Copies of this chain bind each other. A is one copy, B any other.
């Protein structure tokens, strides 16, 4: 039985690695040539046959869904980890912002492009997934804001929700500008500082308003 379980695990891993290999290739190809590339291109980039692709994904939309799920998990994890470390509330928000720029924009440009550009408007179902994903992310942040501000009334909730949306919107557009389009100032450290200063100020009064 051990042997069989061992095999099982081994196969599961192989399967996972194959799947991961395709996902990585797809992210690369999507980022470079756009999501309109054919399955053949993805398969080629993943060193696999066209039929092989369909062994691991039901169809192109399924691949995109898994890619988005993964990206969503990564972003949430990066933000949550950075936010979890002890410190002043505002400092923790700021750390989370830095994490977004460092972990995601800096290290996962492919994922960023997928999330902000290539997956947009792909299909109704994918759009629904994007919506859920953004809701999770903004809910996470809105919860954090509410916990810090202590405001739990309808107004407090809406305020936290809007603040969370605003923060994400800022991060997104700044990321799109500097990391996807690679426009404007090349000094991303400074850009990062300014952007987070803007967040801090916007957030500051939201948090203080509750005190």
Contacts and interface: CB of A to CB of B under 8 A. Distances in A.
Chain A residues touching B, majority SS:
helix
Interface residues of A, number: 47
B181 A162 contact: no
A60 interface: no
A165 B172 CA distance: 10
Given A121-B34, A183-B131, A201-B205, A173 B163 contact: no
A131 B181 contact: yes
Contacts of A174: 162, 165-166, 169
Contacts of A179: none
A163 B174 CA distance: 9
Contacts of A127: 117
Interface string A148-170: 00000001001101110110111
A110 interface: no
